[in-house]
Amino acid sequence: MQISINNFTKTFDGTPVIDDMNLTIRDGEMLALLGPSGCGKSTTLFTISGIHRMDRGQLMFGDRDVSGLPSQKRNVGVVFQNYALYPHMNVFENIAFPLTVRKDNKADIDREVRAIAALTHISELLERRPGQLSGGQQQRVALARALVRKPDVLLLDEPLANLDAKLRLEMRSEIRRIQLETGITAVLVTHDQVEAMSMCDRIAIMKKGEIVQIDTPADMYSNPRTSFVAGFLGNPPISFLSGIAMENSFSVAPIKLRVPLGVHEGIADGTQLKLGVRPEHFGPEGDIAVEGKIAFAETQGRENLYDVALADGSVLRSIQPAGRNWALGEPVRWFIDSKSAFVFSNDGQRL
Amino acid sequence: MRTSSPYRANLLGLAFMTPAMVLLLGFFFLPVVLTSVFAFTNMSTATGISGGSYVVTGNLLRSLTDEGLDAKTIKALRQSSYIIDQAGLEKARTAGVDAKFITEIGERLKDRSFTSSSAFERELKTLPSRPTRVRDLKIAASAFEQSVLNVRYASRGEMEAALSHMLENPPQGAVEQIATASYTGWTWTTENFKNLVIAPDTWRIVGNTVFYVVLTLAFNVLVGLFLAITTFYLPSAGSGFFSILWLLPRITPVVLYAVMWKWFTWEDGFVFNIAQDLGLPAFNYMKGSVASAWTVVILVNGFVGASFGMILFSGALKAIPVQQLWASEVDGASRWQQIRYIILPHMRWPILFVTSYQTLSLLSSYEQIWLTTNGGPGSTTTVWALEAFKTALNNYTGNLQYGLGAAMALILVAVGLVLSIVYLRLFRFDEMMSKPKIEF
Amino acid sequence: MTRNFAAWPIILLLTVLSLPLFVMYLFLLVDTFSNTAPGSLLPNEFTLEHWRFLIDPTITGDVWKPTLTTFLFASSMMVIVVSVSATAGYALSRLALPFRRFVLSGIMVMHAFPSVTLIIGVFLVLQFAGLYNSLTGVILVKASLMLPFGIWIMKGFYDAVPWEIEMAGVQDGASRFTVWRRIILPQVKPGLLSLALFAFIDGWSEYMLPRILAPSSDFEVLSMYLNTVSDPNSSTYNFNIFKSVGLFYTLPVLALFVLFQNRLMNIFGGGTKG
């Protein structure tokens, strides 16, 4: 089911949290709301679920206006960060709860619960209490409970935050698998770009109550609209150089760096600019030479990570395949791949 | 766009709050209001609690004389007169006086009046069908007696009419004055507070109260602290024994607790016997001397309250990171230094809390004192709350002065209210009032 | 804790300080089973005669009727306090209410406020309501005076239940009432149990309110019964019998205390988080 949010505004105790937001979640897609804490992503999620009330705006489930309806009348499934399983009920009762309050008959409940338990691979846990389950198992129960009554939309609030690294990898693909198998529309709230990129069809990046960009993970990575987006996606993160426009080039005078602006011609000389260079676009190969010294080196096994300090003190990050290992303090002359670098105006807009 | 559903939670909230609100309004709010209202009345057992009536009594006449009402009016009020009217004849009939005699009285003495019983009886004796026995004659005569003395009138109007009927040419305002004074119900007054201020006892009791609160509080806090710290250092079996022992007074019903103290301090009691064996002064310590009575009062209450401090302080002690204590020991701190520099600084808030909380409850407590020394010997251990309680609800003369008692209680209520609001501010309880997170 | 310090001086001081309590409670127990010669401290014979009041009503009057009355009194008061606090505490913790802040601060003031000062006002209220001298009146008063405490305690327990559980219930389609009844209430069971125990013990021990608000009614609670027995002017005056009756009266409380000591500990602290 398609979910659309129109002109949504929300304040808490006079502090604006969301300002005039518009967002459409397509039927059957999994969308990530990605952003730093306090950006309004959870507020948006809880508004869709019916916990928060909109100050202004409209929320549509398909062609149904649900803005004024409480959660109970919205048919939304939510997986909470701490799973919020009912501690006094066993797994079966937890999953069956949405059906029992709907007063389904016993045979139906039993069938539905077993079917969803099979889908989420917890059939053998039905008699256990939440306290006897591992984090990953609790996660699966929470998913099963959220899905059992076939909601219009599934909302996931930082679902992997409480899991250890190994389980996180496992549940990442599990959640995606279950979402694809059920074909449900889903919204994932996270501050972890890896999660967002690996699990979702599209990502909406939020900052201070606004959606900065909404795109597929690949497009967003290769074509960020602002320096904030460019900085948020990618691990290790992008590095930025500050400079000015000079004769159709990005120029950092003290180190005599000039990167042609290419298509962005006609920028007045002297305009403050920022150049974003991803680690994979700075290294021994490329077209624009930069001299510096290795200021930091980290071995990650398959790859090595370097910080190269330039003469003016700014730093460029680089990721290189293991093999030729540079030592700390070693002087290097490396190259920026100018076609892949992003140029931003001083206020962060991509040029 | 709003539908009716957003208010569902509110309705449930209202339904959930209603029973509590009804009970709290009825037995918390209303008593406060009534206490404040009746503090400004002279309500007592004599006046009753609902309305009153109008009666001129012998006592009233005496006090009216004191107030300077003229002697003639007083005399007239004290006297009875005999008037032969229809009402008197009716009364005589129901009293069973011979019908023939009544008819004669009606015919011959109609509308005559007599100012004394002897004159009237002399006149009656002249009638032909007069009864032979003097007693019957007196019954007949009394039927015509008219007096305001000790007659109960339901309204002020009736009383004033009766007074005007009785008094010939009363002085200006006398009827109103008598009628007002004759009201037996309660009236509005600020006398309670004036009397409290001028009564020498008041200040003695205030002094007693301060003495009692300060000493008991000191006992509670110091012993509570001592218990918490010692049980903290003791092995768990010992600390368990002592904490349970000190909790016992708190869960023992107050009547039993009070009598255990009586057994302990009374004549022939435990301490009495020991003192006798040792050749020390042995007497009823609870009531025998002022000093011993105060000691008992403070110990009785102190032993109950110490466990409150003990529990809170123990909780605070357990919250001290144990590494700090180890570190101090490695640094060579003595026990006293450890307590002084590590433990006590952590206790500042709990001590302040226990002090404020206990001040309030001690100010208003009187149950234990009432059941042990009952404020004695004399009124040396009487505190404000006990005096208020006795004045209003429990004295031996039988005249309970609700108004005065309410005035005394009102002062406590005001002090309690101010203190509790101050404490709530002090401990920032309002930070606990977060908003509901589900907005539908 | 540590072996750095000598323990005996504080143990000695602690023992001296605790001695009066220890003596009183020890003799409370011993005297009910023994006789002591006048002027002597130690008992000289074992006897069960002080317990005969249980089967022989001629000694102190029938003890079982007051026991039953006290049980009724304490349990009805407990039921009122627990049920009203359970609902009101939830409303204040979780539901949107008009004047919520005001009501909440009012209840906190009442919680700190010494309710005994209201006894005169309460007496007048009962007079006007026609509930003076009735068991119902005393139960209502006792329950009401305990309500701010109960509501405060329950609110604390509700506050500790994660909001997410409540939100999950609402998302699962349950009404707020169903969420309370089937999800939240089971989470605060320990709170309900502690409050119920505390209310019962408090009601069982109550003396003032029945004595003042229902002095001449037909029912008599154990505290009043005990006070009559202990009256020095009464013919049955006898410390040993009194102690037996007193111990009999206190046994249920002691039993509850021993069984649920840990639950009661924090509630005895006044239910405060200060």
Q: What is the CATH number of the domain that holds C215?
A: 1.10.3720.10
C66 versus B268: which is more confidently predicted? C66
CATH of A239-345, one of 2.40.10.10, 3.90.1150.10, 2.40.50.140, 3.30.450.70: 2.40.50.140
Are B192 and B42 in contact by the 8 Å Cβ rule? The answer is: yes
A14 vs A5: CA distance, rounded Å: 22
Q: In which band, very low, low, confident or very high, does the pLDDT at B5 lie, cut at 50, 70 and 90? A: very low
Are A159 and A174 in contact by the 8 Å Cβ rule? The answer is: no
Identify residue B363 by its one-letter amino acid code. L
Q: Tell me whether residues B3 and A65 touch, CB distance under 8 A.
A: no
Query: Which H or E run includes C24?
Result: helix C8-31
Q: Tell me whether residues A84 and C168 touch, CB distance under 8 A.
A: yes
C34 belongs to a structural domain: no
Q: Tell me whether residues C120 and B405 touch, CB distance under 8 A.
A: yes
Q: Considering just the CA atoms, what is the radius of gyration of chain A in Å?
A: 24
DSSP characters over B369-386: HHHTTTT-STTTT--HHH
A154-196 tens-digit pLDDT: 999 998 888 888 888 888 999 999 999 999 999 999 999 889 9
Q: According to the model, what pLDDT value does residue A61 have?
A: 92
Q: Tell me whether residues C172 and A145 touch, CB distance under 8 A.
A: yes
C83 vs C30: CA distance, rounded Å: 40
* Chain C interface includes B320 (CB < 8 A): no
A32: pLDDT strictly greater than 90: yes
CA distance, residue B373 to nearest chain C CA (Å) = 14
Token duo for residue B225: 């602290």
Mean of pLDDT values over C236-251: 79
DSSP characters over A92-124: HHHHHHHHHHTT--HHHHHHHHHHHHHHTT-GG
Mean of pLDDT values over A251-280: 81
Of A77, A86, A102, the CB nearest to C171: A77
Mean of pLDDT values over A258-271: 76
Q: In which band, very low, low, confident or very high, does the pLDDT at C269 lie, cut at 50, 70 and 90? A: low
C239: pLDDT strictly greater than 80: no
Q: In which band, very low, low, confident or very high, does the pLDDT at C185 lie, cut at 50, 70 and 90? A: very high
Among B241-250, B368-377, B395-404, C148-157, the range scoring the smallest mean pLDDT is B395-404
What's A17's DSSP letter? Answer: E
* Chain A interface includes C101 (CB < 8 A): no
Are A30 and A181 in contact by the 8 Å Cβ rule? The answer is: no
Q: In which band, very low, low, confident or very high, does the pLDDT at A153 lie, cut at 50, 70 and 90? A: very high
CATH code linked to domain B199-400: 1.10.3720.10
Q: According to the model, what pLDDT value does residue C7 have?
A: 66
C38 vs C113: CA distance, rounded Å: 46
- In this predicted complex, what is the ipTM? 0.87
A201 burial class (0-12, 13-18, 19+ CB within 10 angstroms)? middle
Among A15-19, B174-178, C233-237, the range scoring the smallest mean pLDDT is C233-237
Of B13, B364, B371, the CB nearest to C114: B364
The interface residues of chain B toward chain A in range 287-306, judged by CB-CB distance below 8 A, are: none
Q: Tell me whether residues B270 and C28 touch, CB distance under 8 A.
A: no
- 3-class SS at C28? helix
CA distance, residue A70 to nearest chain C CA (Å) = 9
B153 versus B36: which is more confidently predicted? B36
Mean of pLDDT values over C54-66: 79
Of B242, B427, B439, the CB nearest to C18: B242
- Please give the tally of structural domains in chain C: 1
B206: pLDDT strictly greater than 70: yes
Q: In which band, very low, low, confident or very high, does the pLDDT at A306 lie, cut at 50, 70 and 90? A: very high
* Chain B interface includes C72 (CB < 8 A): no
A27 vs A33: CA distance, rounded Å: 16
Q: In which band, very low, low, confident or very high, does the pLDDT at B4 lie, cut at 50, 70 and 90? A: very low
Mean of pLDDT values over B88-104: 81
Of A50, A65, A71, the CB nearest to B1: A65
Q: Tell me whether residues A84 and C178 touch, CB distance under 8 A.
A: no
> Per DSSP, which regions of chain C are E strands?
34-35, 45-46
A140 vs B374: CA distance, rounded Å: 68
Are A316 and A290 in contact by the 8 Å Cβ rule? The answer is: yes
Give whole-number Cα distances, C220 to B388, C70, C143, C207, C231, in Å. 25, 8, 18, 10, 15
Are C226 and C53 in contact by the 8 Å Cβ rule? The answer is: no
Q: Tell me whether residues C170 and A72 touch, CB distance under 8 A.
A: yes
3-state helix, strand, coil in chain A (%, to 5): 30, 35, 35
A91-111 tens-digit pLDDT: 999 999 999 999 999 999 999
Q: According to the model, what pLDDT value does residue A105 have?
A: 92
Q: Tell me whether residues C167 and A86 touch, CB distance under 8 A.
A: no
pLDDT, averaged across chain C: 83
C32 vs C241: CA distance, rounded Å: 7
C5: pLDDT strictly greater than 50: yes
B422: pLDDT strictly greater than 50: yes
C15-27 tens-digit pLDDT: 888 888 898 888 8
C122 vs C208: CA distance, rounded Å: 12
CATH of A3-232, one of 3.10.110.10, 3.40.50.920, 3.30.70.260, 3.40.50.300: 3.40.50.300
Mean of pLDDT values over C92-106: 85
B312 versus B19: which is more confidently predicted? B19
Are B134 and B151 in contact by the 8 Å Cβ rule? The answer is: no
Mean of pLDDT values over A103-125: 93
Q: In which band, very low, low, confident or very high, does the pLDDT at B3 lie, cut at 50, 70 and 90? A: very low
- The closest alpha carbon to A348, from A178, A195, A173, A231, belongs to A231
Q: Tell me whether residues A86 and C171 touch, CB distance under 8 A.
A: no
Domain ranges of chain B: 54-181, 199-400
A53-67 tens-digit pLDDT: 899 999 999 989 999
Share of chain A above pLDDT 70, in %: 99
- The closest alpha carbon to B362, from B212, B171, B137, B246, belongs to B212
Are A234 and A281 in contact by the 8 Å Cβ rule? The answer is: no
- The closest alpha carbon to A112, from A132, A95, A135, A129, belongs to A95
Residues of chain C neighbouring A51 (CB-CB closer than 8 A): 167, 170
B354 vs B309: CA distance, rounded Å: 6
B126-163 tens-digit pLDDT: 888 788 787 887 888 777 877 777 777 778 888 787 77
Q: In which band, very low, low, confident or very high, does the pLDDT at B9 lie, cut at 50, 70 and 90? A: low
pLDDT, averaged across chain B: 81
Q: Tell me whether residues A84 and C186 touch, CB distance under 8 A.
A: no
Residues of chain B neighbouring A71 (CB-CB closer than 8 A): 438, 440
Q: Tell me whether residues B440 and A53 touch, CB distance under 8 A.
A: yes
Q: In which band, very low, low, confident or very high, does the pLDDT at B433 lie, cut at 50, 70 and 90? A: low
Are A303 and A321 in contact by the 8 Å Cβ rule? The answer is: yes
B45-92 tens-digit pLDDT: 777 777 677 877 777 778 778 877 777 777 777 777 777 878 778 888
Indicate the length of chain B as a whole number.
Answer: 440
C229 vs B50: CA distance, rounded Å: 36
Residues of chain B neighbouring A52 (CB-CB closer than 8 A): 439
- The closest alpha carbon to C191, from C145, C250, C149, belongs to C149
B333-358 tens-digit pLDDT: 777 788 888 888 888 888 888 888 88
C249 belongs to a structural domain: yes
The interface residues of chain C toward chain A in range 227-266, judged by CB-CB distance below 8 A, are: none
Identify residue B28 by its one-letter amino acid code. F
Among A10, A51, A56, A76, the strongest candidate for a mutation testing the B interface, having the largest count of B CBs within 10 A, is A51
Q: CB-hemisphere CA count at 13 Å for A347?
A: 0
Mean of pLDDT values over A260-264: 72
C237: pLDDT strictly greater than 80: no
Domain ranges of chain A: 3-232, 239-345
Q: Do you find a cis peptide bond into C186, omega within 30 degrees of 0?
A: no
Are B248 and B398 in contact by the 8 Å Cβ rule? The answer is: no
Q: Tell me whether residues C164 and A102 touch, CB distance under 8 A.
A: no
Query: Domain containing C121: what range?
Result: 60-268
Are A92 and A113 in contact by the 8 Å Cβ rule? The answer is: yes
Helices (H), C130-238: 135-159, 163-171, 176-178, 185-187, 189-205, 208-213, 222-229
Q: According to the model, what pLDDT value does residue B332 have?
A: 78
C208 vs C224: CA distance, rounded Å: 9
- 3-class SS at A52? coil
Q: CB-hemisphere CA count at 13 Å for C41?
A: 13
Of C127, C176, C222, the CB nearest to B9: C176
Share of chain C above pLDDT 70, in %: 89
Q: Tell me whether residues B440 and A70 touch, CB distance under 8 A.
A: yes
Mean of pLDDT values over A249-255: 81
Residues of chain C neighbouring B221 (CB-CB closer than 8 A): none
Are B163 and B177 in contact by the 8 Å Cβ rule? The answer is: no
What's B230's DSSP letter? Answer: H
Among A227-241, A317-331, B72-86, C85-99, the range scoring the smallest mean pLDDT is B72-86
Residues of chain B neighbouring C90 (CB-CB closer than 8 A): 16
What's C51's DSSP letter? Answer: G
A125 versus B236: which is more confidently predicted? A125
Q: Tell me whether residues B438 and A51 touch, CB distance under 8 A.
A: yes
Tokens 């809390």 belong to: B353
> How would you classify the pairing of strands A202-207 and A30-34?
parallel
Of C162, C171, C186, the CB nearest to A76: C171
Q: Tell me whether residues C110 and B353 touch, CB distance under 8 A.
A: no
Among A15, A45, A47, A53, the strongest candidate for a mutation testing the B interface, having the largest count of B CBs within 10 A, is A53
Residues of chain C neighbouring A76 (CB-CB closer than 8 A): 171
